[in-house]
Amino acid sequence: MQLRIPGPTPCPPQALQAMSRQMINHRGEEFDKIIKSVTGKLKQVFQTEGDVFVLTASGTGGLEAAIVNTLSPGDKVLSTSNGVFGDRFADIAVQYGAEVTRLDTEWGRQVDLDAVDKALGVDSDIKAVLVTHNETSTGVTNNLAGISAIVEKFDKLLLVDAVSSLSCINLPADDWHCDVVVTGSQKGWMIPPGLAMVGVSEKAWQAHAQAKMSRFYWDFAKARDYLKIGQTPWTPAVSNFYALDATLDLMLNEGLANIFARHARVAQIARDGVKSLGLSLFPEEDCASNTVTAVNVFDKIDVPKLIQILRDEHDVVIAGGQRKLSGQIFRIGHLGLVYEEDIELVLEALSKVLPQARR
Protein backbone atom coordinates (compact mmCIF):
# COMPACT_ATOMS: atom_id res chain seq x y z
CA MET A 1 0.00 0.00 0.00
CA GLN A 2 1.09 3.56 -0.72
CA LEU A 3 0.08 5.34 2.49
CA ARG A 4 0.42 8.95 1.36
CA ILE A 5 -1.49 10.90 3.97
CA PRO A 6 0.39 13.50 6.00
CA GLY A 7 0.84 11.05 8.88
CA PRO A 8 0.87 8.36 10.04
CA THR A 9 3.58 7.72 7.48
CA PRO A 10 4.89 4.33 6.35
CA CYS A 11 7.41 2.76 8.71
CA PRO A 12 10.60 1.08 7.45
CA PRO A 13 11.17 -2.58 8.42
CA GLN A 14 13.70 -1.52 11.04
CA ALA A 15 10.99 0.44 12.85
CA LEU A 16 8.38 -2.31 12.60
CA GLN A 17 10.81 -4.93 13.85
CA ALA A 18 11.70 -2.69 16.76
CA MET A 19 8.01 -2.21 17.57
CA SER A 20 7.65 -5.97 18.05
CA ARG A 21 10.38 -6.22 20.72
CA GLN A 22 9.37 -7.57 24.11
CA MET A 23 8.94 -5.19 27.06
CA ILE A 24 11.68 -4.21 29.51
CA ASN A 25 11.77 -2.39 32.83
CA HIS A 26 11.28 1.28 31.98
CA ARG A 27 13.19 2.16 35.14
CA GLY A 28 16.15 -0.11 34.46
CA GLU A 29 19.57 0.12 32.80
CA GLU A 30 18.46 -0.88 29.34
CA PHE A 31 15.87 1.86 29.05
CA ASP A 32 18.39 4.33 30.45
CA LYS A 33 20.63 3.56 27.47
CA ILE A 34 17.77 3.87 25.00
CA ILE A 35 16.42 7.19 26.26
CA LYS A 36 19.89 8.71 26.33
CA SER A 37 20.64 7.43 22.84
CA VAL A 38 17.33 8.71 21.49
CA THR A 39 17.66 12.10 23.20
CA GLY A 40 21.19 12.65 21.96
CA LYS A 41 20.23 11.86 18.38
CA LEU A 42 17.05 13.95 18.58
CA LYS A 43 19.16 16.95 19.58
CA GLN A 44 21.12 16.58 16.36
CA VAL A 45 17.95 16.60 14.28
CA PHE A 46 16.47 19.46 16.29
CA GLN A 47 19.82 21.25 15.74
CA THR A 48 19.77 22.29 19.37
CA GLU A 49 21.98 22.26 22.41
CA GLY A 50 18.91 22.85 24.56
CA ASP A 51 16.75 20.19 26.12
CA VAL A 52 14.70 17.69 24.17
CA PHE A 53 12.05 15.59 25.88
CA VAL A 54 9.97 12.72 24.58
CA LEU A 55 6.38 12.69 25.83
CA THR A 56 3.99 9.76 25.51
CA ALA A 57 1.23 11.54 23.60
CA SER A 58 0.31 12.60 20.11
CA GLY A 59 1.50 15.89 18.64
CA THR A 60 -1.45 17.80 20.06
CA GLY A 61 -0.29 16.80 23.53
CA GLY A 62 3.06 18.36 22.68
CA LEU A 63 1.32 21.59 21.67
CA GLU A 64 -0.56 21.63 24.97
CA ALA A 65 2.73 21.06 26.78
CA ALA A 66 4.29 24.04 24.97
CA ILE A 67 1.49 26.30 26.20
CA VAL A 68 1.11 25.15 29.80
CA ASN A 69 4.83 25.06 30.53
CA THR A 70 5.52 28.64 29.53
CA LEU A 71 2.39 30.71 30.17
CA SER A 72 0.03 31.87 32.89
CA PRO A 73 -3.71 32.51 32.65
CA GLY A 74 -4.19 36.06 31.38
CA ASP A 75 -0.91 36.13 29.46
CA LYS A 76 -1.20 37.75 26.07
CA VAL A 77 -0.37 35.51 23.13
CA LEU A 78 -0.18 36.27 19.41
CA SER A 79 -1.51 33.45 17.23
CA THR A 80 -0.34 33.48 13.59
CA SER A 81 -2.69 30.85 12.22
CA ASN A 82 -3.31 30.02 8.59
CA GLY A 83 -5.06 26.68 8.96
CA VAL A 84 -6.61 23.98 11.14
CA PHE A 85 -3.50 23.30 13.18
CA GLY A 86 -2.72 26.97 13.76
CA ASP A 87 -6.28 27.41 15.02
CA ARG A 88 -5.87 24.39 17.29
CA PHE A 89 -2.68 25.81 18.83
CA ALA A 90 -4.53 29.06 19.59
CA ASP A 91 -7.57 27.17 20.94
CA ILE A 92 -5.38 25.33 23.44
CA ALA A 93 -4.00 28.64 24.71
CA VAL A 94 -7.55 30.01 25.06
CA GLN A 95 -8.64 26.88 26.94
CA TYR A 96 -5.92 27.49 29.51
CA GLY A 97 -6.88 31.10 29.99
CA ALA A 98 -4.42 32.96 27.76
CA GLU A 99 -5.62 36.16 26.11
CA VAL A 100 -5.10 35.32 22.45
CA THR A 101 -4.85 37.84 19.64
CA ARG A 102 -5.58 36.03 16.41
CA LEU A 103 -3.59 37.27 13.43
CA ASP A 104 -5.36 35.05 10.93
CA THR A 105 -4.01 34.67 7.41
CA GLU A 106 -6.07 33.47 4.48
CA TRP A 107 -5.69 29.70 4.15
CA GLY A 108 -3.22 28.84 1.40
CA ARG A 109 -1.08 31.92 1.96
CA GLN A 110 1.88 32.17 4.27
CA VAL A 111 1.91 34.33 7.37
CA ASP A 112 2.90 37.87 6.43
CA LEU A 113 6.05 39.06 8.18
CA ASP A 114 5.03 42.71 8.20
CA ALA A 115 1.74 41.82 9.86
CA VAL A 116 3.59 39.97 12.63
CA ASP A 117 5.95 42.90 13.07
CA LYS A 118 3.02 45.28 13.25
CA ALA A 119 1.03 43.15 15.70
CA LEU A 120 3.97 42.88 18.06
CA GLY A 121 4.65 46.60 17.72
CA VAL A 122 1.05 47.49 18.57
CA ASP A 123 0.82 45.47 21.78
CA SER A 124 3.98 45.38 23.86
CA ASP A 125 2.28 43.16 26.46
CA ILE A 126 2.30 40.14 24.17
CA LYS A 127 4.42 37.48 25.79
CA ALA A 128 4.51 34.66 23.26
CA VAL A 129 3.99 34.05 19.55
CA LEU A 130 2.48 30.80 18.24
CA VAL A 131 3.66 29.65 14.83
CA THR A 132 2.79 26.59 12.80
CA HIS A 133 5.92 25.91 10.80
CA ASN A 134 4.21 23.62 8.35
CA GLU A 135 0.41 23.91 8.15
CA THR A 136 -0.60 20.35 7.30
CA SER A 137 -4.20 21.29 6.52
CA THR A 138 -3.30 23.61 3.64
CA GLY A 139 0.13 22.43 2.54
CA VAL A 140 1.78 25.73 3.44
CA THR A 141 5.21 26.14 4.98
CA ASN A 142 5.53 29.40 6.85
CA ASN A 143 8.67 31.50 6.80
CA LEU A 144 9.75 30.52 10.28
CA ALA A 145 13.21 32.05 9.87
CA GLY A 146 11.63 35.38 9.04
CA ILE A 147 9.05 35.22 11.80
CA SER A 148 11.65 34.15 14.34
CA ALA A 149 13.83 37.16 13.56
CA ILE A 150 10.89 39.46 14.31
CA VAL A 151 9.95 37.60 17.48
CA GLU A 152 13.59 37.79 18.55
CA LYS A 153 13.69 41.53 17.86
CA PHE A 154 10.72 42.04 20.19
CA ASP A 155 12.18 39.54 22.68
CA LYS A 156 9.06 37.37 22.86
CA LEU A 157 8.72 33.65 23.40
CA LEU A 158 8.48 31.66 20.17
CA LEU A 159 6.36 28.50 20.43
CA VAL A 160 6.52 26.39 17.27
CA ASP A 161 4.30 23.62 15.98
CA ALA A 162 6.79 21.68 13.86
CA VAL A 163 4.81 18.46 13.97
CA SER A 164 4.90 17.91 10.21
CA SER A 165 8.12 19.75 9.37
CA LEU A 166 10.87 18.87 11.79
CA SER A 167 13.21 16.21 10.36
CA CYS A 168 11.89 16.85 6.82
CA ILE A 169 12.38 20.60 6.35
CA ASN A 170 15.32 22.53 7.75
CA LEU A 171 14.54 23.85 11.22
CA PRO A 172 17.63 24.86 13.18
CA ALA A 173 15.88 25.31 16.53
CA ASP A 174 18.69 27.24 18.22
CA ASP A 175 19.60 29.47 15.26
CA TRP A 176 15.94 30.36 14.83
CA HIS A 177 15.46 31.07 18.54
CA CYS A 178 12.67 28.55 18.96
CA ASP A 179 11.73 28.41 22.62
CA VAL A 180 9.49 25.37 22.45
CA VAL A 181 9.40 23.33 19.27
CA VAL A 182 7.03 20.36 19.00
CA THR A 183 6.98 17.39 16.66
CA GLY A 184 5.26 14.00 16.48
CA SER A 185 6.59 10.50 15.94
CA GLN A 186 4.24 9.51 13.10
CA LYS A 187 5.50 12.20 10.71
CA GLY A 188 9.04 12.55 9.36
CA TRP A 189 10.37 10.27 12.07
CA MET A 190 9.00 7.16 10.32
CA ILE A 191 7.61 5.43 13.39
CA PRO A 192 4.04 4.89 14.61
CA PRO A 193 2.17 7.61 16.51
CA GLY A 194 2.45 7.72 20.28
CA LEU A 195 5.31 10.10 20.99
CA ALA A 196 5.55 13.89 20.94
CA MET A 197 9.07 15.29 21.00
CA VAL A 198 9.65 18.77 22.36
CA GLY A 199 12.70 21.03 22.29
CA VAL A 200 12.98 23.50 25.17
CA SER A 201 15.25 26.57 25.19
CA GLU A 202 16.85 28.32 28.14
CA LYS A 203 14.41 31.19 27.66
CA ALA A 204 11.53 28.71 27.83
CA TRP A 205 12.88 27.51 31.18
CA GLN A 206 12.86 31.09 32.45
CA ALA A 207 9.24 31.37 31.35
CA HIS A 208 8.52 27.99 32.95
CA ALA A 209 9.68 29.30 36.32
CA GLN A 210 6.96 31.97 36.16
CA ALA A 211 4.27 30.03 34.32
CA LYS A 212 1.16 29.34 36.38
CA MET A 213 -1.06 27.34 34.04
CA SER A 214 -2.04 24.01 35.60
CA ARG A 215 0.20 21.19 34.52
CA PHE A 216 1.09 17.76 35.76
CA TYR A 217 1.45 15.15 33.01
CA TRP A 218 3.03 17.71 30.67
CA ASP A 219 5.41 19.30 33.15
CA PHE A 220 8.83 19.80 31.55
CA ALA A 221 10.49 20.04 34.98
CA LYS A 222 9.42 16.49 35.79
CA ALA A 223 10.66 15.33 32.36
CA ARG A 224 14.01 17.01 33.00
CA ASP A 225 14.41 15.54 36.48
CA TYR A 226 13.67 12.02 35.30
CA LEU A 227 15.80 12.28 32.16
CA LYS A 228 18.79 12.87 34.44
CA ILE A 229 18.30 9.35 35.79
CA GLY A 230 17.54 7.87 32.36
CA GLN A 231 13.78 7.71 32.84
CA THR A 232 10.52 9.47 32.10
CA PRO A 233 8.22 10.59 34.92
CA TRP A 234 5.35 8.43 33.64
CA THR A 235 5.58 5.03 31.94
CA PRO A 236 6.76 5.76 28.38
CA ALA A 237 5.60 4.15 25.13
CA VAL A 238 8.61 1.81 25.22
CA SER A 239 8.01 0.25 21.78
CA ASN A 240 8.02 3.64 20.07
CA PHE A 241 11.30 4.45 21.81
CA TYR A 242 12.81 1.25 20.38
CA ALA A 243 11.60 2.24 16.92
CA LEU A 244 12.71 5.85 17.19
CA ASP A 245 16.18 4.75 18.24
CA ALA A 246 16.32 2.72 15.01
CA THR A 247 14.95 5.34 12.62
CA LEU A 248 17.15 8.07 14.09
CA ASP A 249 20.11 5.95 13.01
CA LEU A 250 18.70 5.74 9.50
CA MET A 251 18.18 9.50 9.47
CA LEU A 252 21.60 10.44 10.77
CA ASN A 253 23.20 8.01 8.34
CA GLU A 254 21.38 9.66 5.47
CA GLY A 255 22.32 13.08 6.83
CA LEU A 256 20.02 16.03 7.49
CA ALA A 257 20.96 17.91 4.34
CA ASN A 258 20.24 14.85 2.22
CA ILE A 259 16.90 14.29 3.93
CA PHE A 260 15.85 17.89 3.34
CA ALA A 261 16.96 17.67 -0.31
CA ARG A 262 15.06 14.43 -0.81
CA HIS A 263 11.88 15.96 0.58
CA ALA A 264 12.35 18.97 -1.69
CA ARG A 265 12.82 16.76 -4.77
CA VAL A 266 9.86 14.56 -3.99
CA ALA A 267 7.64 17.57 -3.31
CA GLN A 268 8.64 19.16 -6.60
CA ILE A 269 7.65 15.98 -8.41
CA ALA A 270 4.30 16.04 -6.61
CA ARG A 271 3.64 19.68 -7.49
CA ASP A 272 4.74 19.32 -11.11
CA GLY A 273 2.75 16.12 -11.40
CA VAL A 274 -0.59 17.43 -10.20
CA LYS A 275 -0.22 20.50 -12.39
CA SER A 276 0.53 18.30 -15.40
CA LEU A 277 -2.75 16.51 -14.64
CA GLY A 278 -4.56 19.82 -15.10
CA LEU A 279 -5.03 20.51 -11.42
CA SER A 280 -3.77 23.46 -9.41
CA LEU A 281 -2.09 23.75 -6.06
CA PHE A 282 -4.22 24.99 -3.20
CA PRO A 283 -1.44 27.11 -1.63
CA GLU A 284 0.46 29.81 -3.37
CA GLU A 285 3.40 28.02 -4.89
CA ASP A 286 6.14 30.01 -3.19
CA CYS A 287 5.04 28.68 0.19
CA ALA A 288 3.99 25.18 -0.90
CA SER A 289 5.16 22.59 1.59
CA ASN A 290 7.80 19.95 1.01
CA THR A 291 5.92 17.46 3.20
CA VAL A 292 2.32 17.71 1.99
CA THR A 293 0.82 18.86 -1.29
CA ALA A 294 -2.71 20.27 -1.17
CA VAL A 295 -4.53 20.25 -4.47
CA ASN A 296 -7.51 22.37 -5.47
CA VAL A 297 -10.40 20.57 -7.17
CA PHE A 298 -12.73 23.57 -7.68
CA ASP A 299 -15.83 21.38 -7.28
CA LYS A 300 -14.83 19.50 -10.45
CA ILE A 301 -13.79 16.35 -8.61
CA ASP A 302 -15.75 14.28 -6.12
CA VAL A 303 -13.01 14.04 -3.48
CA PRO A 304 -14.47 11.21 -1.35
CA LYS A 305 -15.00 9.19 -4.54
CA LEU A 306 -11.45 9.92 -5.70
CA ILE A 307 -10.04 8.81 -2.36
CA GLN A 308 -12.12 5.65 -2.32
CA ILE A 309 -11.24 4.52 -5.85
CA LEU A 310 -7.56 5.24 -5.26
CA ARG A 311 -7.66 3.12 -2.14
CA ASP A 312 -9.87 0.29 -3.36
CA GLU A 313 -8.46 -0.11 -6.87
CA HIS A 314 -4.92 1.22 -6.67
CA ASP A 315 -3.92 0.69 -3.03
CA VAL A 316 -3.02 4.37 -2.76
CA VAL A 317 -4.20 6.23 0.32
CA ILE A 318 -4.37 10.02 0.24
CA ALA A 319 -6.22 12.52 2.44
CA GLY A 320 -9.11 14.91 1.88
CA GLY A 321 -9.47 18.45 3.16
CA GLN A 322 -10.29 19.36 6.75
CA ARG A 323 -13.02 21.65 8.06
CA LYS A 324 -13.95 24.28 5.48
CA LEU A 325 -11.66 22.62 2.93
CA SER A 326 -13.58 19.34 3.10
CA GLY A 327 -14.47 18.38 -0.47
CA GLN A 328 -12.49 21.35 -1.81
CA ILE A 329 -9.00 19.86 -1.81
CA PHE A 330 -7.15 16.60 -1.52
CA ARG A 331 -3.76 16.16 0.05
CA ILE A 332 -0.79 13.98 -0.75
CA GLY A 333 1.58 13.36 2.12
CA HIS A 334 5.24 12.99 1.19
CA LEU A 335 7.24 12.94 4.37
CA GLY A 336 9.43 10.46 6.15
CA LEU A 337 9.91 7.26 4.20
CA VAL A 338 9.25 8.58 0.69
CA TYR A 339 11.18 8.48 -2.56
CA GLU A 340 10.65 9.75 -6.07
CA GLU A 341 9.15 6.48 -7.29
CA ASP A 342 6.51 6.52 -4.53
CA ILE A 343 5.11 9.83 -5.69
CA GLU A 344 5.36 8.83 -9.34
CA LEU A 345 3.22 5.82 -8.50
CA VAL A 346 0.68 8.05 -6.75
CA LEU A 347 0.58 10.40 -9.75
CA GLU A 348 0.11 7.49 -12.13
CA ALA A 349 -2.83 6.23 -10.08
CA LEU A 350 -4.25 9.75 -9.92
CA SER A 351 -4.06 10.10 -13.69
CA LYS A 352 -6.19 6.99 -14.05
CA VAL A 353 -8.72 7.77 -11.34
CA LEU A 354 -9.30 11.49 -11.88
CA PRO A 355 -11.51 10.97 -14.96
CA GLN A 356 -13.64 8.51 -12.95
CA ALA A 357 -14.12 10.99 -10.13
CA ARG A 358 -15.10 14.03 -12.18
CA ARG A 359 -18.38 15.61 -11.24
Helix, strand, coil shares, percent, the chain, to 5: 45, 20, 40
* Beta carbon nearer to a copy of itself, 303 or 319: 319
Q: How far apart are CA 95 and CA 75, in angstroms?
A: 12
- Per DSSP, which regions of 90-143 are E strands? 99-102, 126-132, 134-135, 140-141
Binding mask 205-234 for a copy of itself (x = CB under 8 A): --------xxxxx---------------xx
Binding mask 239-278 for a copy of itself (x = CB under 8 A): xx--------------------------------------
* Beta carbon nearer to a copy of itself, 22 or 124: 22
Q: How far apart are CA 46 and CA 200, in angstroms?
A: 10
* Beta carbon nearer to a copy of itself, 145 or 337: 337
Report CA-CA distances (Å) from 200 to 70, 162, 203, 220: 10, 13, 8, 8
H or E stretch covering 55:
strand 51-56
Q: Please count the CA atoms within 13 angstroms of the CA of 149 that sit on its side-chain side.
A: 5
Closest among 63, 55, 60 to 195, alpha carbons compared: 55
* Beta carbon nearer to a copy of itself, 95 or 356: 95
Instruction: Please report whether residue 24 would count as binding a copy of itself according to CB under 8 A.
Output: yes
Q: Which of 11, 269, 303, 353 binds a copy of itself (CB under 8 A)?
A: 11
* Beta carbon nearer to a copy of itself, 11 or 151: 11
Q: Which of 33, 44, 74, 95 binds a copy of itself (CB under 8 A)?
A: 95
Closest among 137, 146, 149 to 292, alpha carbons compared: 137
SS3 category, 303: helix
* Beta carbon nearer to a copy of itself, 112 or 135: 135
Q: Which of 3, 84, 246, 347 binds a copy of itself (CB under 8 A)?
A: 3
Instruction: Please report whether residue 154 would count as binding a copy of itself according to CB under 8 A.
Output: no
* Beta carbon nearer to a copy of itself, 72 or 143: 72
Using CB under 8 A, which residues numbered 31 to 70 contact a copy of itself? Answer: 56-61, 64
List b or e across 206-222, with b for residues whose CB sees 16 or more CB atoms inside 10 angstroms. ebbeebebebeebbbeb
Enumerate binding residues for a copy of itself (CB under 8 A). 1, 3, 5, 7-11, 16-17, 19-28, 56-61, 64, 91-92, 95-97, 184, 186, 192-194, 213-217, 233-240, 311, 317, 319
